[in-house]
Amino acid sequence: MSMEIRVPALPESVSDGLIVAWHKQPGDAITRDEALVDIETDKVVLEVPAPNDGVLESILINSGDTVVADQVIGIINDGAMATAMQAGEAAAAAEKPVDRLAGTGPAARKLLADYEIDPAQINGTGPGGRITKADVLAFLRSRPAEDKTEPERPRPATAAAPRVTPGLPELDEDRPQQRVPMSRLRARIAERMLHATQSTAMLTTFNEVNMQPVMELRSRYKEAFEQQHGVRLGFMSFFVRASAEALKRHPDINASIDGDEIVYHGFCDIGVAIGTERGLVVPVLRNAEYMSLAEIETYILEYANKARDGKLEMEDITGGTFTISNGGVFGSMLSTPILNPPQSAILGMHKIQDRPVAENGQVVIRPIMYVALTYDHRIVDGKSAVTFLKTIKELLEEPASMLLEI
């Protein structure tokens, strides 16, 4: 009996998606819930699982084509014929080469398909030999632009501009460049960033935090913390806790504009920005005000793994009343983060650096982090923004008071 493979329900406000890659080809045996195809939207990559055991009979929509919700994209044969086909496929499977695409992410798969590259030509540098997007791009850069069977001749001074094939390196090896299609996620990020700068009254205020108390507390208990909870104690959990407490004290920072109304949220859904191969994603910690440090670190680790594997779901990244971005992990000393509409503020963390500071009339060296708060001046006044950031500073410099909720 034949069974249709359909595009699942797409996220709210998403009208269509792009077939990134099929993991199976017609005639391949499949098992129930096995990932068959990746569909990229402007928010997440959706994995479409097999609805039943059987054999992939046909692919109706190829990689690179656009699809809409509930559209039929393939056919599975899950009856007696499928059983016979599986037996035939099992006999031939021993002769098939090892699937080099196993575990390869959607971005790398798309590049391999777009440029018709044999995965066997690439040495994967990811875990277990997995081919990453960076591996494919490095291969494209190193691949000869043309067959160099003739000896190279000096280029005339008036030579015509080198021919450029979209997505591939130029033939001019002295001035290489390459063009690649903008992914839907990257296009969506660009659209939202531009919208934020054009539709909000963004302003940024700064402060500095002496991280020594947090670092001493973390150093003292990190081993016991990891043994007890099975997750490492990082700095982000302290910032999430401090932000949740500060949001409760300054509700206008935890607000958003909806038309002509201001919505004050009675909960703290804090988004944590995570960089991936495909771009920036912001999974949300729901009701962060009730989370312990261990729960925060566990959720962040889980989201980071899902983001790396392209398995974030819509409920993971939708909503959010406040966002934290940590450019410090990449070495950023100072920045002005861009709002994540319709939120009214975003906190930027930066690199911890030893700096001379004055304490009790003495110059001492302390590990200092600059923090930045970008806010929407339409609903947040300067006083509120400054006092909110000052509250973050005070809570982090006295972490015991934050953890004891005093």
Tens of pLDDT along 328-358? 989 999 999 999 889 999 999 999 999 999 9
Confidence at 150, pLDDT banded by 50, 70, 90: very low
| C-alpha–C-alpha distance, residues 138 and 109, integer Å | 14
- When mean pLDDT is compared across 76-85, 134-143, 208-217, 344-353, the lowest value belongs to 76-85
**377 classed as catalytic:** yes
Read off the pTM.
0.64
Short-list 178, 231, 179, 246, CA closest to 387: 246
Residues of the chain with CATH 3.30.559.10: 185-404
The more confident residue out of 149 and 277 is 277
Question: Is the model's pLDDT at 189 over the cut of 80?
Answer: no
* Average pLDDT over every residue of 110-115: 80
pLDDT in tens, 217-276: 999 999 999 999 999 999 999 999 999 999 999 999 999 999 889 999 999 999 998 887
Question: Is the model's pLDDT at 153 over the cut of 50?
Answer: no
The more confident residue out of 156 and 34 is 34
Confidence at 1, pLDDT banded by 50, 70, 90: confident
Give 164-211 as a DSSP string. --TTS--S-TTS-----PPPHHHHHHHHHHHHHHHHS-EEEEEEEEE-
| C-alpha–C-alpha distance, residues 180 and 183, integer Å | 9
Most confident of 5-9, 176-180, 199-203: 199-203
* Exposed e or buried b per residue across 77-94, where buried means at least 16 C-beta atoms within 10 angstroms of its C-beta: bbeeebeebbeeeeeeee
| C-alpha–C-alpha distance, residues 227 and 81, integer Å | 53
372: which residues sit within 8 A by CB, 6+ positions away? Answer: 204, 205, 206, 334, 335, 336, 337, 347, 348, 350
Contacts 24+ apart (CB under 8 A), 121-125: 124/100
Phi, psi of 111, rounded to the nearest 5 degrees: -65, -40
Question: Is the model's pLDDT at 85 over the cut of 50?
Answer: yes
Question: Is the model's pLDDT at 154 over the cut of 50?
Answer: no
| CA 4 from centroid of its chain's CA atoms | 31
Q: Is the dihedral of CA 246, 215, 373, 192 positive or negative?
A: negative
Only one residue has tokens 């791009």, namely 137
- When mean pLDDT is compared across 76-90, 115-129, 392-406, the lowest value belongs to 76-90
Mean pLDDT of the chain: 83
| C-alpha–C-alpha distance, residues 8 and 314, integer Å | 12
The more confident residue out of 150 and 210 is 210
Question: Is the model's pLDDT at 188 over the cut of 60?
Answer: yes
| C-alpha–C-alpha distance, residues 238 and 222, integer Å | 13
* Average pLDDT over every residue of 372-385: 95
Confidence at 81, pLDDT banded by 50, 70, 90: very low
The per-residue pLDDT for 122 is 85
Are 301 and 236 in contact by the 8 Å Cβ rule? The answer is no
Return the C-alpha torsion angle 177, 183, 188, 194, nearest 10.
0
| C-alpha–C-alpha distance, residues 15 and 4, integer Å | 21
- Tell me which CATH code domain 2-96 carries: 2.40.50.100
Out of 33, 70, 99, 381, pick the active-site residue.
Answer: 381
| C-alpha–C-alpha distance, residues 111 and 175, integer Å | 22
Question: Is the model's pLDDT at 159 over the cut of 50?
Answer: no
Residues of the chain with CATH 2.40.50.100: 2-96
* Exposed e or buried b per residue across 236-269, where buried means at least 16 C-beta atoms within 10 angstroms of its C-beta: bbbbbbbbbbbbeebebbbbbbeeeeeeebebbb
Out of 33, 65, 70, 377, pick the active-site residue.
Answer: 377
CATH superfamily of 185-404: Chloramphenicol acetyltransferase-like domain (3.30.559.10)
Most confident of 113-127, 173-187, 323-337: 323-337
**33 classed as catalytic:** no
